[in-house]
Amino acid sequence: MFLTFVTFLPLIGAALLAFVPDEKTETIKQAALGIAVADFLLSLVFYQEFDMHSHKMQFEFMVPWIEAWGINYHVGLDGISLLLYILTTFLTAVSILASWEVKKHTKYYMISMLALSTGMLGVFIALDFFMFYVFWEFQLVPMYIIIGVWGGPRRLYAAVKFFIYTAVGSLLMLVGIIWMYLELHQQTGTYSTDILFMTDNLKMALEVQIWLFLAFFLAFAIKVPMFPFHTWLPDAHVEAPTAGSIILAGVLLKMGTYGFLRFNLPLFPAASYSLFPYVCWLAVIGIVYGALVAMVQEDLKKLVAYSSVSHLGFVMLGIFAFNHQGLSGALLQNINHGISTSALFLMVGMIYDRRHTRLIKEFGGLSKIIPVFAIYFMIVTLSSIGLPGMNGFIGEFLVLIGMFQTDVVFAMIGTSGVIFAACYMLWMFQRVMFLEVTNPENEKLEDMNLREKILMVPMVILIFWIGLYPAPFTKTFDASIEHLVSHVNKHSGIKHEEEGGAHHAAVKGKATVAQLLTTGTSETTVLVKE
């Protein structure tokens, strides 16, 4: 019940804000910030109360919703969703504070932000497919409005593109959901859209799993975004206001990776195994392609956007490593990317507020003029590259360790992404911060003000905290990942003997799939899951 309250608190706040007169912008901003911060603090209670040793859903709450169809309102948190949930409340508060200078229709902006927050939180707690889908689509609307109303010059194009892209992907997922719903009824005689129930009871042949995997894959791959479904992302990022970019990079993309962890792996383990090389190819192409394209960008925001494509490639690689290290790396990298990239967008936003341009060539030598900004920017840049001692390093390291055990080729190509990241980030940093001040307009720039410092301090603390002592973070999802890995291994149709045999399992997995594909239908009818 408390989980429901925390989730819907922003929406309630948004509804109340609607009654405040438009002109009282200060009150509105303060109220919105107050709600967001309160929501963040309340969400910390879940961390406090969370049983780290259990992979089970916690804070569960279930009431019948549409009884005729067996649909329940069912929510809960486990290790996979807990940190993402807290990250969402945190970034909502950050983005509202970052939008203090929004002058146009402030009230509606704040309402959209708060509504968006509830939509995103709902995605992470939903344990019923119907509900999940409701939240998954619901959050599109406020984000669409935020990009479309408060965005840059090409905002209409970007907003509609964002909406349609995501809608196409998720509608096919909807077909998959309904199909599984009916299939479940065929098999068990119960109508249910409960995710946990379905994961435990639905048995599907490999061929079926592959089709469903693809339907879900499209929805999540567009959201992540994986190459070649990423083209909406740069447009959306460039046109979105700063806070929009923060939420997009920080949370919305994570909904895609979360989808893989919550649905694709547990529901279609055999298909995940068999399609793993293709997914990994897309992931490594994304890593390298994103990095190379980032390198040649002239717009700071576009550069960060493409770096996201590259970073999310790592997360995907970690997920499809199918072992403990890879998955914990992926989850941690989710959080890291949420922090580092949000911080980058935040700082790009600050500099944009001052100069109203984001073109790299307009800057140069800024470290002499705004030293405090330069220091923060340095920290964030390095964290994004993955310098040891900072958060990015831990995540990427774990992902690569995981992947090395599963498939060396992908791990090697993936590693090159780390080098590329250093190239484009440091080169960008050099061109913006160092060298001579060539543009006289830059000379009278003001350094960070108090509000901006308040925004950056928690980011920097988190960057170092995760970098130096990640245990408080990793321990939340250890049990869940352990369970997920064993579940996937157990149900993937591949028997393997000992613990820690993920490597063999995966290699065997590929072999089995090859056999399956060559020997044809007789083998594909082998049912997985018991």
Partner 1 sequence: MEPIPAPLVDLTSLAPVLVLSVFTMMVLLVDLFVGRNKSVLVFISLTGLLMAAISAFAKGAEIPVYSFNGAYVVDRLSIFFTMIFCLSSALAILLSVEYNKREGIRVGEYYSLILFCTVGMIVLASSTDLIMIFIGIEIVSICLYVLAGIRRGDLRSNEASLKYFLLGAFATGFLLYGMTLLYGTTGSVKLLTIAERLNSGEVFTNPLMLMGVVLLVIGFGFKVASVPFHMWAPDVYQGAPTPVTAFMAVGPKAAAFAAFFRVFAEGIPELAPSWETTLSIVAVLSMFIGNLGAIMQTNIKRLLAFSSVSHVGYILIAVIAKNTLGSASLLFYMLSYAFMIFGIFGIVILLGREGNENLELENYSGLGFKHPMLAFCMTLFMLSLGGLPPLAGFVAKFYIFQAALKEGFLWLVIIAVLNSAISFYYYLKVIVFMYMKEPIGEFKISLTPITLFVVAIGVLGTLELGIFPGPVIFLAQY
Residues that bind partner 1 (CB under 8 A): 18, 65-69, 105, 108, 130, 133-134, 137-138, 140-141, 144-145, 148-149, 155-156, 159-160, 163-164, 167-168, 171-172, 174-175, 178-179, 181-182
**85/163 with CB nearer partner 1:** 163
CA distance linking residue 212 with residue 293, whole number of Å: 32
State how far the Cα of 114 lies from the Cα of 189, in Å rounded to an integer: 40
145 vs 459, which CB is nearer to partner 1? 145
Nearer to partner 1, 129 or 276 (CB): 129
Q: Closest CB to partner 1 among 181 and 320?
A: 181
CB of 108 to partner 1, least distance (A): 7
Q: Which CB, 130 or 306, lies closer to partner 1?
A: 130
DSSP state of 128: B
Tell the smallest beta-carbon distance from residue 246 to partner 1 (Å). 21
Q: What is the closest distance, in whole angstroms, from the C-beta atom of residue 169 to partner 1 in the complex? A: 9
Residues 6 or more apart whose CB falls under 8 angstroms from that of 243 comprise 95, 96, 98, 99, 102, 113, 146, 349
Tokens of 91: 């970034």
Instruction: Please state the closest distance from residue 271 (CB atom) to partner 1, in A.
Output: 18
CB-based contact 11:111 (threshold 8 Å):
no
Place of tokens 């279930």: 62
Residue 154's CB is within 10 A of a number of other CB atoms, namely 12
* Number of neighbours of residue 517 by Cβ within 10 angstroms: 12
Give alpha helix (H) positions in 140-298. Answer: 140-150, 155-188, 195-201, 206-223, 232-239, 242-247, 253-259, 265-267, 269-295
Minimum distance, C-beta of residue 7 to partner 1, in the bound complex (Å): 14
Q: In Å, how far from its chain's centre is CA 508?
A: 30
Nearer to partner 1, 22 or 443 (CB): 22
At closest approach, how far in Å is the CB of 22 from partner 1?
A: 8
Sign of the C-alpha dihedral, residues 145, 149, 151, 154? positive
**Are the C-beta atoms of residues 255 and 223 closer than 8 Å to each other?**
yes
Quickly list DSSP for 477-505.
HHHHHHHHHHHHHHHTT----STTTHHHH
Instruction: Check residue 438 and report its DSSP letter.
Output: -
Q: Taking the complex as a whole, how short is the minimal distance between the CB of residue 267 and partner 1, in angstroms?
A: 18
Q: Residue 438, Cα to own-chain centre: how many angstroms?
A: 38
Which CB sits closer to partner 1, 105 or 510? 105
Least distance between partner 1 and beta carbon 151 (Å): 9
Which CB contacts under 8 angstroms, 24+ apart, belong to 368-372?
368/437, 369/437, 369/442, 369/443, 369/445, 369/447, 370/445, 370/446, 370/447, 370/448, 371/447, 372/447, 372/448, 372/453
> Closer CB to partner 1, residue 114 or residue 513?
114
Q: Nearest-5° angle of CA 437, CA 440, CA 444?
A: 95
Shortest distance (Å) from residue 294 CB to partner 1 = 29
Residue 276: CB minimum distance to partner 1, A: 25
Among residues 133 and 320, whose Cβ is nearest to partner 1?
A: 133
Helix (H) or strand (E) holding 56: none
Q: Which is nearer to partner 1, 29 or 161 (CB)?
A: 161
Torsion sign, CA atoms 152, 157, 160, 162: negative
Quick one: 15 or 454, whose CB is closer to partner 1? 15
The contacts of residue 419 (CB under 8 Å, 6+ apart) are: none
- Shortest CB 269 distance to partner 1, Å: 23
Which CB, 175 or 514, lies closer to partner 1? 175
The nearest distance, CB 182 to partner 1, in angstroms, is 6
